[in-house]
Amino acid sequence: MNAHAPAPGSAVPTVMHVDMDAFYASVEIRRRPELRGRPVVVGALGARGVVLSATYDVRAHGVHAGQPVGRARRLCPQAVFLPPDHAEYARVSAGVMEILRSTTPVVEPLALDEAFLDLGGSLRRLGGDPEQVAAAIRARVADEQGITCSVGIAGTKFVAKLAGATVKPDGQRLVRDEDAVAFLHPLPVDRLWGVGERTEAVLTRLGLHTVGDIAHTPPATLCRALGQAAGRNLHALAWGRDERPVVPSEPERSMGAEETFPADVDDPEAVRRTLLRLATRTGSRLRAAGLAGRTVSIKVRFSDFTTLTRSKTLREATDVGQEIYATACALHAGLGLERARLRLVGVRMEQLVDGDRPRQLVLGERARGWADVERAADAVRHRFGGHALAPASLLGGTPPPAPRPRR
């Protein structure tokens, strides 16, 4: 008899949550083996930069995602701090998602580094044992992508996600329906979806410290304290009830990047240089995902945190960074902000389509040009690292003048 076989009459859980362990940091260590065993933090390295990912030994010092990099340096000065390479993370993520979709077509990515799977229609073909399926996924991710992941398996998305979180890094855990309440009730209240600092403070004032405390509190009490929707949702989750199905992913609706300046900027050249960097990064991410976009959007945030966005839809979709840059510059110039003090700028591509579709040339446009240059640059960066090649103006030179955008 299979040692993992369920007890007679118990349902086999089919919802799986797969989460890459310290994803950005793991990808950096994969291509820099000399960093293995050392504490690594990935994040924007300016004074206003934030942590995107950190290895687990760094987290033990209190470093976490979303934290200012300056604070992370004070908490763990011995860590290696690296800037992010989003194009490389997109490539690795695409490889991981391909592994997941080869297991079951019902895959719902949540981000580059995690996804829900529903094995219901595929489990018999896969051998009938979800734990063996999880082990196979973990082995393939490690073998093909050189990183590790943790897997939770349960009857609902909520419990599956929590199950995987208890065995990170590089572990797996199955929680059967009949064991879900016993698994959930000892956990602290902040493990429930929707419980942030403010909600946790309200629950603490009510004397509710564990998921079990919430489960045994009348829903009416929770609703009075938190509102009807939040109160009823937390009570249901505390009993392991989560009706949301795993929804296969729809195509990404947008892709882009933004950057917060270390200090407010009113230099047009500095803004154009940043737009070029963001457009180059966005084009690279689009190509890595096999996508192109028709609408270029920019975001600017002033020193007083007021934010403006502007967008322009092109006649043809593009994944070429120079074309994205040209349109972004035109949008920025149209704002008339030559000497405005800016805190942040961003570039985003929307109306995404398949990047392999044929493109109609504009009269007088060369059939080969920036698209080929940027794809060659992609190949160099893929082999030698994300910072091996960049436009000269991003290495300290004067940014190019705003080019004429393609209409």
**Annotated binding-site members:** 19, 113
Measured distance CA(302)–CA(177) in Å, rounded? 51
Cβ neighbours around 247 below 10 Å, total:
12
Identify whether 114 is a catalytic site residue.
yes
Measured in degrees and rounded to the nearest 5, phi and psi for residue 296 equal -100, 130
Dihedral in degrees, nearest 10, Cα atoms 69, 72, 76, 79: -30
Work out the number of other CB atoms within 10 angstroms of the CB of residue 26: 23
Q: Could you tell me which residues come within 8 angstroms of residue 39 by beta carbon, excluding any fewer than 6 positions away?
A: 54, 55, 57, 58, 61, 76, 78, 79, 80
Annotated binding site for Mg(2+): 19, 113
Extract long-range pairs of 189-193: CB within 8 Å, 24+ residues apart.
Answer: 189/213, 189/214, 191/162, 191/165, 192/234, 192/237, 192/238, 193/158, 193/233, 193/237
Separation of alpha carbons 354 and 363, rounded Å: 23
Q: Spot the catalytic one: 28, 88, 108, 114.
A: 114
The residues assigned a catalytic role are 114
